[in-house]
Amino acid sequence: MLKLVLSLVFLLTAPALGLAAESPKAGGGETYDLVSPPHPTGDPAKIEVIEFFWYGCPHCYHFEPYVKAWLKTKPANVVFIRQPAVFNAHWAAHAKAFFTAEALGVLDKVHDDFYDSIQNKKETLESEADLAKFFAAHGVKEDDFHKAYKSFAVDAKMRQAETLAPSYGIDGTPALIVNGKYRIGASKAKSFDKMIETANALIKQESPAKP
């Protein structure tokens, strides 16, 4: 009799268990955590995905091809934001290089080479002088570099970056934040494929249902 009852319980709950395994759980899941409290996004009509990274992080470097492949297929309602994390002076130096490139409008031009210089060529690229040479090699006038590097806009973004990652509960990279509510870290997701898969599932969950 006990076996019969247990069998009936399993049959009744199996569909629900299967559904939970296929879609994100409202209270958190095996491959992501909830951001508490949730952060507002720039455009409520869009789904925001933020990638926190560090140029000196080999895991971020190896995650980059997955991000690029995903960007080619991401839904039209998704806004993607790269966000350098800042946890110490080394991270800050590379974050400032990122924001300087952004201010100069050359981020797409230098992003891959910056990763390559640090990860493969083993360059530090932390001092203003070294960064000036790097940017000059990519067609940026030295005076333009120094002006952007020391600009109020870059300084403001640096001050924001120092607190942003911790505010999302991030303590390592790479990490993805989906719509200000969900945190996907490499250590919990276990693989880069699973990070992308989880992000896609959460994006689908957050997207308004079509009539």
Residue 20 within any structural domain of the chain: no
Residue 157 within any structural domain of the chain: yes
Residue 98 within any structural domain of the chain: yes
Question: Tens of pLDDT along 95-124?
Answer: 999 999 999 999 999 999 999 999 999 999
Q: Which domain holds residue 52?
A: 29-206
Q: Tell me if residue 191 falls in helix, strand or coil.
A: coil
What's the CATH code of the domain at 173? 3.40.30.10
Residue 211 within any structural domain of the chain: no
Question: Tens of pLDDT along 49-95?
Answer: 999 999 999 999 999 999 999 999 999 999 999 999 999 999 999 99
How many structural domains comprise the chain? 1
Non-local (6+) Cβ contacts of 34 within 8 A are: 27, 28, 181, 182, 183
